[in-house]
Amino acid sequence: MTNCHDDTAATADLTQARRIALVGSPNAGKTSLFNQLTGLRAKTGNYPGVTVGRSVGVLSVGAAQVAIEDLPGTYSLDPISPDEQVVADALAGALPGVDRPDAVVLVADATTLRRSITLVGQVLRLDLPAVLVLTMTDELPARRGSIDLDALAIALGVPVVAVIANRGVGIEALRTLLGSPDIWSRPAVLPPPEADALDAWGTSVLAAAEYAAPQPDLRTGRIDAVILHPIWGLAVFFAVMFVFFQVIFTVAAPLQDRIAAGLDWLGSQVDGHLGGTVLGGVLGDGVIGGVGTVLQFLPQIILLFLMIALLENVGYMSRAAFLMDRVMARTGLEGRAFVAMLSSFACAVPGIMATRTLPSSRDRIATVISAPLMTCSARLPVYTLLVGLLVEPQRRWWGLSAQGVTMFLLYLGGGTAALLAAALFKSTILRSDLLPFTMELPPYRFPSPTAILVAIWDAAKIFLRKAGTVILATSLVLWILMNLPTRGAETAQLSPPEAAAYVLDHSYAAGIGRAIEPVFAPMGFDWRTNIALVGSLSAREVFVSTLGQVSAATNPSSPHQALVAMTDDHGQRVFTAPTVIALMVYFMFALQCMSTVAVMRRETNSWRWPAFAFGYMFVLAWVAAVAARAIASGVGA
């Protein structure tokens, strides 16, 4: 029952943890409520065998602990796709390894109750102890709707709690209630099973509760008149996209530099005390280098997630998806995949994580394995180097900087490839489920700071744990491969850059580089370039510094001069135009980034898809690079 005076409800202390599931439609404010109840103590994962994410958190009520599970948002317990089947199965206790909940918290948006009352009825049919939480209860009267909560509780036969999640209203009352599902009132009879009768039941219940539906939200209507206008809307859209990228590059970059500086300092400290020893090397280049790479990603990841979370919470994301749906539909995907693809222009990691908003698992997988083809920011240093080797800075084509045009073409190539790949997969191995494209456009609401913070925190946690460990491990392994065996005796007389080059040329990695030479020979890569390719598996930017080391450049971060002069074992110049073009094309398509692989693994809940992605992209890169080289040589570049 609702309660406006001192809380006098008794708390029944429980000795064992109760399991309570949150059920509700998408956009009902369920996740917000979940965060309010469990704080940041939620564990995220996947349901067994599917790509659907699972969140379980803990709530303390008195001395007892309650396990709260945030089930995926659903419109009905009649599943249409395998993902929705998960909710129905979880509630029935039919999922392996997932116990049936002891009680259910139904979360419904008070402003869309006429639609969601049928879901309420379906869940009550499960005959589990249930409580109904109504969210947006402040918005209802603001839009000239109303409801009698006590009458609703009588009509339903279960307790009803009004909650305003952002302001924390009603949370305490709910929290106390969650401690004692045994005393919750239960309905006298279960709502009818068949759809028409259930609709009739819902109508009757809402009539008894004197429910007056809200008027359309005027503010949203006014904003949408601009945001979804054929001309102004698209203008706003491009402006938002522009700001999106500007922020990444102008705000993230300085932060990244700061972190790089800090790590350099740390590295020099290690050098100072342990310089020259293997331990010093492992610690300095391997560990600090690895950690450094991870941390360098962090500002970008956090910023991207901040903006995605902001746009999502305000309500703009669904509008953007609405505008882009026609374009995405040509590839067999839908409007919401646009965000994932777009984010991948900065970094595929948040892009892949953003595929969670797609209801179809096949859409999710297709986007996950295509998105890395988008030209991410890590490719930029590589492209900059290669374009510099290929095209002189002063060259102009049709009045534009030739270097700029080349860059643009490379970006375009990546973007087009991603969309084509998605289209290919969606028309062959990942054909659509039956799910028609439908998407709610919720009213514009002020974003809740908690929701944003939690979204960023979750994302950062995943990135650090998954990608971070993989990158670190890869860095260490690569360091060992590239710096052992040490050649103290042989390098004693050489200058530092020459010594570094010597060690590298005779390292285990060099052995690998020579061994895979046949594979890359058609592209004109020599074994030294191959070492750099191997090295860039941890992160694409590493390619540049490794090439620098390999070519004994005095400044490995900008090895341009050294590379131009570099010759292979036969005395031929390595970086001829055809080879450089082949390298560019190779980088355009190859999946070089282990952190992307790690996040793919997590999001698709198996190694199958990341392995497939790595494989097909390698084949694509190889074929395209060889072809590009052949064409370039033929044309006489």
Partner 1 sequence: MIAMHAVATDDPQRLRWVITGARMPAGGRVRQAPGRLGVLQHDGVIVEMTVHGAEVVITLSPAQRWRDRAEEVRVALDEALDMPAHWRTDPVKRTGELRQAARELLDGPIGEIATAHGGTIELVEVTGDRVRVRLSGACHGCPAAGSTLHDRLQRELRRRFGDAITVSAESASAAKSMGRKLLTLFVR
Partner 2 sequence: MLADLAPGQQATITGAASHAPPAVASRLRQLGFRATARVEVIRRAPLGDPTIYRVLDTELCLRRREAELIEIRR
Which residues of the chain form contacts with partner 1 (CB under 8 A)? 1-6, 8, 148, 150-151, 154-155, 157, 187-193, 196-197, 199-201, 203-205, 207-208
Phi, psi of 268 (to 5 degrees): -70, -35
Distance spanning both ends of the chain, measured CA to CA: 80
Selection from partner 2, partner 1, none that 327 binds (CB < 5 to 8 A by kind) is partner 2
Nearer residue to partner 1 within complex by CB, 187 or 413: 187
CB of 603 to partner 1, least distance (A): 43
Told to check if 515 binds partner 2 by CB under 8 A, we report no
Told to check if 195 binds partner 2 by CB under 8 A, we report yes
Nearer residue to partner 1 within complex by CB, 98 or 205: 205
Residue from 226, 234, 239, 637 touching partner 2 (CB under 8 A): that is 234
Selection from partner 1, partner 2, none that 193 binds (CB < 5 to 8 A by kind) is partner 1
Nearer residue to partner 1 within complex by CB, 128 or 617: 128
CB of 54 to partner 1, least distance (A): 32
Per-residue contact flags (x/-) with partner 2 for residues 425 to 444, judged by CB under 8 A = ---------xxxxxxxxx--
Selection from partner 1, partner 2, none that 510 binds (CB < 5 to 8 A by kind) is none
114-153 binders of partner 2 (CB under 8 A): 114-115, 118-119
- Asked if residues 244 and 308 have their Cβ atoms less than 8 Å apart, the reply is no
Nearer residue to partner 1 within complex by CB, 151 or 405: 151
Told to check if 331 binds partner 2 by CB under 8 A, we report no
Distance CA 528, CA 307 (A): 40
Residues 6+ apart with CB under 8 A from 2: 149, 150, 153, 160, 161, 162
- What letter would DSSP give residue 192? P
Distance CA 585, CA 579 (A): 10
Residues 6+ apart with CB under 8 A from 6: none
Q: Report the chain's C-alpha Rg in angstroms.
A: 29
Distance of alpha carbon 220 from its chain centroid, rounded?
Answer: 28
Told to check if 518 binds partner 2 by CB under 8 A, we report no
Judged by CB under 8 A, the number of residues near partner 2 is: 38
Distance CA 498, CA 467 (A): 34
- Asked if residues 55 and 44 have their Cβ atoms less than 8 Å apart, the reply is yes
Ramachandran bin of 566, using left for φ above 0, alpha for ψ from -120 to 50, beta for the remaining angles? beta
82-111 binders of partner 2 (CB under 8 A): 111
Told to check if 326 binds partner 2 by CB under 8 A, we report yes
Selection from partner 1, partner 2, none that 155 binds (CB < 5 to 8 A by kind) is partner 1
CB of 330 to partner 2, least distance (A): 10
Residues 6+ apart with CB under 8 A from 22: 30, 33, 34, 68, 69, 70, 71, 104, 105, 107
Residue from 34, 47, 297, 322 touching partner 2 (CB under 8 A): that is 322
Task: Determine the angle formed by the axes of helices 508-515 and 496-505, rounding to 10 degrees.
Answer: 50
- Asked if residues 130 and 158 have their Cβ atoms less than 8 Å apart, the reply is yes
Told to check if 194 binds partner 2 by CB under 8 A, we report no
CB of 146 to partner 1, least distance (A): 13
Selection from partner 1, partner 2, none that 205 binds (CB < 5 to 8 A by kind) is partner 1
Told to check if 76 binds partner 2 by CB under 8 A, we report yes
Distance CA 496, CA 498 (A): 5
Told to check if 213 binds partner 2 by CB under 8 A, we report yes
- Order of strands across the sheet with 18-24? 43-46, 53-61, 64-70, 18-24, 103-109, 130-135, 160-162
Selection from partner 2, partner 1, none that 192 binds (CB < 5 to 8 A by kind) is partner 1
Is the N-terminal amide bond of 518 cis, ω within 30° of 0? no
Nearer residue to partner 2 within complex by CB, 119 or 348: 119
Task: Name the one residue in this structure whose structure tokens are 């703009």.
Answer: 316
CB of 112 to partner 1, least distance (A): 19
- Asked if residues 547 and 386 have their Cβ atoms less than 8 Å apart, the reply is no
Nearer residue to partner 1 within complex by CB, 5 or 570: 5
CB of 186 to partner 2, least distance (A): 25
Angle at 22 between CA 102 and CA 168, to 5 degrees: 120
- Asked if residues 596 and 369 have their Cβ atoms less than 8 Å apart, the reply is no
- What letter would DSSP give residue 356? G
Selection from partner 2, partner 1, none that 240 binds (CB < 5 to 8 A by kind) is none
User: What are the E-state strand segments in 7-102?
Assistant: 18-24, 43-46, 53-61, 64-70
CB of 143 to partner 2, least distance (A): 9
Residue from 139, 148, 199, 271 touching partner 2 (CB under 8 A): that is 199
Selection from partner 1, partner 2, none that 118 binds (CB < 5 to 8 A by kind) is partner 2
Nearest in space to 524 (alpha carbons), one of 389, 380, 615, 630: 630
- CA distances, 286 to each of 269, 320, 465, 477 (Å): 14, 42, 18, 8
CB of 567 to partner 2, least distance (A): 54
Selection from partner 1, partner 2, none that 489 binds (CB < 5 to 8 A by kind) is none
Angle at 293 between CA 287 and CA 299, to 5 degrees: 135
Nearer residue to partner 1 within complex by CB, 188 or 434: 188
Nearer residue to partner 1 within complex by CB, 199 or 271: 199
Nearer residue to partner 2 within complex by CB, 213 or 251: 213
β partners of residue 46: 53
Residue numbers of the site for partner 2 (CB under 8 A)?
A: 75-76, 78, 80, 111-115, 118-119, 195, 199, 213-214, 216, 224, 228, 230-231, 233-234, 322-323, 325-327, 329, 335, 434-442
